Structure 1
């Protein structure tokens, strides 16, 4: 695609987002920003959550990873499915009963002032790094596809991208995002379907033959039972459950969408339907990955060392203009659907948990919320530019993985608050929340020596959370 064509596609896309923002932000108030006045249709939320859950990292990485670990990711996704059911049956009733805006606000009454601030802080830290990392990857693609051709610096393109997100979210927040996510999910799914169709056409096979070729391929193995392998079924499955409970059920970003539904009954329907579609879409991504490798082998193309580059390389250079447009829209939609909701969730969490700005706040609260929203937008720009300055992909990925450690304390605090009613020495909770990830990192680094060859994977989150729980029990006020 030429830079001009890229510009036309991206410009049309954002004009459509801004138009949706204008429609949804009329008569918007503080409550609209925080929970969409609890008026979102459940089916709209369910469909839109696909785009927010499948980030730009997933969009690129899952197909590429098929060449390294086959379909083993599906073991993790099956655990995700159970995790979503637990959220629907356990966490959503709890949140709706307390009528929460920020899901962390109940911690102050249950455990204390510092426990609330600790959980909210670790969420903000995780979300800033995660959202910046995802936008950074997409900004690199856009830089190569468009901005470099016109000599526009990376810093300018990043500022422009974040400004556009701020522009269509600053008035109505989550109310706008519920609707824009549906658009972005559509582009994301269509990109995968278009690519699969184009590859099947070039390979000269029917849909039935596609399924058969994937099934008989060496890349289609799903279950692995070597307990020392990072892909061992049990640890992938259990880790999938806990990862979903934390990164979705205990994450303000995802839960804020669920809490926009009109009632608990509708929120549950949303979660059950969404989780079913989620498994199906991941299967599409895995199938696409197998087809990408088959097509690369047929045309004699060497697979890049960084398998993440396989899908974008083929889509933009070998599969025609229609697939290139679909891919560009798909990866942009995937990244921006997770970034815009992250920005709104961070604003909500900081306003409610740190500034005590509620839904009923008047003009002063509204003004502060707008400044917080702008401040987090600027922070995203700064973190992305720091990633660029590092200019070392392995270091940037390591920073992103390190952010995953910060979800362990959130898991630990939630578990402790749910199952223990004892008072604790609350002022020491931040120390426990810092020590648990550090200790988890040390154990993970030497796990092969300590546990006879065992390597930690996603289940490290469980260890991190359990260490946090253990530390909190040490803080119980024995009096």
Structure 2
């Protein structure tokens, strides 16, 4: 009976979120409306959509596991995130709002030409497919465990396909408006789930459990002892690397930039961007607290002795130790995080495809009604591709939150570096930016595969600073030996016109 009730709660959630998403989205009249909601969304809704998009399942599933085996180290990363988002708000956002863009990479097209714009877009598309594949897999983990309670051994592929189908139902029709408003609802659901777990665990462990976790250093935020180059949670790595990582993810990644571009003004966009850093710190603290209390509940037992991985410990608690109905609600919260991230990714992938590739390279000039139909069709195509990419990560043993951030870190350096090259090196032209971009992708790829310090891999937050340095050095040197040219004139962008 326990499992039947939980499954009923999950099914009810899936039906409700699809219906609500369709009702809240309103009628889409143009491609611009589909991509940016006619720039009419309130900043606070966009702020929560940013948070729901970036944390998603990786936070819900993996951060408690990281805290179980470590401490509140993810809260330390949030400090770096705040620094980075303040810089994005005042350095990069003005470029996007001034140009009236629907894609962040349209700035690169205006500054360097369509070759760099197209390369940046392709890099984003591939990176987002891989990173969202990890997130989809993370969302499928608790569903698979729940179905196993019924004696059903369902393949991850089938679960991922079902989650994607429901998400597409409202994203396909409603565009960015459906994405933002459902993100807001879904974020509330999984945050409520975290609070419920904290209350239940606090009752179970009592004051003695809190004291044991404190004495064991589970609530430690800043770590000055870990090696800087190889640990993502060392203080310098978290602050410096985290700041540049979030500049890449929130300043040069279309997934987040598109959320901000749907705000009513630059001022609102800045509020949404900076506010999201504060909210993300609160989220990291909540889910880290869940992990610390799970550690206390299990008497500090190592995960290996429990037969669990760091990505399974929270899901196991949800399914086996919460009261009837609450387990289903918590799994629905995990699904909410998965679907919020996925819907944002699908919409941004469709936007970048049309604005940066079709509009810039194909020189296609359809009417708005045709463009809207194509935008929806591209959402469906990317959804199918996402399901395929998610199946690539079913054998990984690394915490999925670290795997997802690592994948993104490989390319954020090149993306952020291209924007900074355009701002800081006036002589840089399309050739310099294109060669520097390719050199950065190769350099960070080599670093990810070949660099080790004392037998350990370079920590993922350092890939972005490394990429930025390579881009600026290579692009700057090429600019010095090339003759000065007039800036590239902006090309008309049909997708951006209302």
Q: Cα distance 1:234–1:142, how it changes in 2: closer, same or farther (>3 A)?
A: same
Q: Which residue of 2 aligns with 1:440?
A: 444
Q: Cα distance 1:430–1:381, how it changes in 2: closer, same or farther (>3 A)?
A: farther
C-alpha distance in 2 between matches for 1:157 and 1:460: 32
Deviates more, 1:164-173 or 1:11-20: 11-20
* C-alpha distance after superposition, 1:148-180 (max 9, x if no partner): 745655443332221211111112211111110
Deviates more, 1:115-124 or 1:274-283: 274-283
5 Å-filtered alignment, 1:186-225, equals: 186-205=188-207, 214-225=213-224
Q: Is the 8 A contact 1:122 1:409 kept in 2?
A: no
- Give ranges in structure 1 of 5+ residues lacking alignment: none
TM-score, normalised on structure 2? 0.86
CA offset at residue 67 of structure 1?
A: 3.4
* C-alpha distance after superposition, 1:432-479 (max 9, x if no partner): 434424333444534426xx9895441222112211222222432621
* C-alpha distance after superposition, 1:408-437 (max 9, x if no partner): 2112111111112224352x7555434424
C-alpha distance in 1 between matches for 2:141 and 2:317: 17
Task: Tell me if 1:274 matches 2:309.
Answer: no
C-alpha distance in 2 between matches for 1:392 and 1:316: 22
Q: Which residue of 2 aligns with 1:44?
A: 45
Q: Which residue of 1 aligns with 2:289?
A: 287
Q: Which residue of 1 aligns with 2:388?
A: 382
Aligned pair count reads 471
CA offset at residue 248 of structure 1?
A: 1.4
C-alpha distance in 1 between matches for 2:290 and 2:2: 25
Q: Is the 8 A contact 1:35 1:256 kept in 2?
A: yes
Alignment counterpart, residue 478 of structure 1, candidates 477, 482, 488: 482
* C-alpha distance after superposition, 1:273-306 (max 9, x if no partner): 3322221221111222111100111899944452
SS of equivalent residue, structure 2 residue 298: helix
Q: Cα distance 1:277–1:392, how it changes in 2: closer, same or farther (>3 A)?
A: closer
Q: Cα distance 1:139–1:81, how it changes in 2: closer, same or farther (>3 A)?
A: same
* C-alpha distance after superposition, 1:297-353 (max 9, x if no partner): 189994445222211112211233354223202211111111110110010011100
RMSD: 3.0
Task: Tell me if 1:308 matches 2:311.
Answer: yes
Q: Cα distance 1:71–1:364, how it changes in 2: closer, same or farther (>3 A)?
A: same
Q: Cα distance 1:297–1:210, how it changes in 2: closer, same or farther (>3 A)?
A: closer
Q: Cα distance 1:282–1:272, how it changes in 2: closer, same or farther (>3 A)?
A: same
C-alpha distance in 2 between matches for 1:296 and 1:323: 20
Q: Cα distance 1:185–1:216, how it changes in 2: closer, same or farther (>3 A)?
A: same
5 Å-filtered alignment, 1:65-464, equals: 65-146=66-147, 149=151, 153-205=155-207, 214-226=213-225, 228-229=227-228, 230=231, 231-297=233-299, 302-304=305-307, 306-356=309-359, 361-388=367-394, 391-393=395-397, 401-424=406-429, 426=431, 432-443=436-447, 445-448=450-453, 455-464=458-467
- Give ranges in structure 2 of 5+ residues lacking alignment: 484-498
Deviates more, 1:103-112 or 1:275-284: 275-284
Deviates more, 1:104-113 or 1:11-20: 11-20
Q: Which residue of 2 aligns with 1:8?
A: 8
C-alpha distance in 2 between matches for 1:359 and 1:34: 17
Q: Cα distance 1:247–1:181, how it changes in 2: closer, same or farther (>3 A)?
A: same
Task: Tell me if 1:20 matches 2:23.
Answer: no
C-alpha distance in 2 between matches for 1:200 and 1:83: 34
